[in-house]
Amino acid sequence: MRLALVRHAEAAEDARGLCYGRLDVGLSQRGRVQCASLAEAFRHETIDAVLASPAVRARETGVAIATPHRLGVDVVEPLRELDFGELEGRSYEEIAESDPELYERWMTARRRCASPEASRTPTSRRGSPPGSRGSSSTRAIGTSWPSPTAA
């Protein structure tokens, strides 16, 4: 199987500076322009399937790639974004002010990138570690998806 991994286009302006993973935000105007560029970049590629996480921004990006190929977008739950737990929807600045110790631990862990857990906030809900989410999802897609080429 050939699998092209594409991160969603730029999220809406009102989400900038916020912890958003599971928070369902759409695309910015620039994100829509990026989608048009993606559609053009993939226009002449052979694509049999387009997969996306359940997030609106990922599905909108997927639609841009899928439409020229007359495909739909298959939503794949394991591709769901990281869950920031109680920090979801709060600004980084607000977190730093309200809980500086938590913020410093989180940022220090991220800078070290010591493990896949480093991306997880100290208050994240448990599930797959962030670093394993993509690799385990792509392995599952690669071994079980019926299409030879997917984006």
Q: Tens-of-pLDDT digits for all 151 residues of the chain?
A: 778 888 899 988 888 888 888 888 899 999 999 999 999 999 999 999 999 999 999 999 999 999 999 999 999 888 888 788 888 889 999 999 999 998 888 888 777 665 545 555 555 554 444 444 455 666 666 656 666 667 6
CATH architecture observed for domain 2-92+124-150: 3-Layer(aba) Sandwich (3.40)
Residue 22 near residue 120 (C-beta atoms within 8 A): no
pTM (2 d.p.): 0.72
Q: Where are the chain's structural domains?
A: 2-92+124-150
* Structure-token match 């694509």, residue found: 47
- Token digits of residue 142: 């690669």
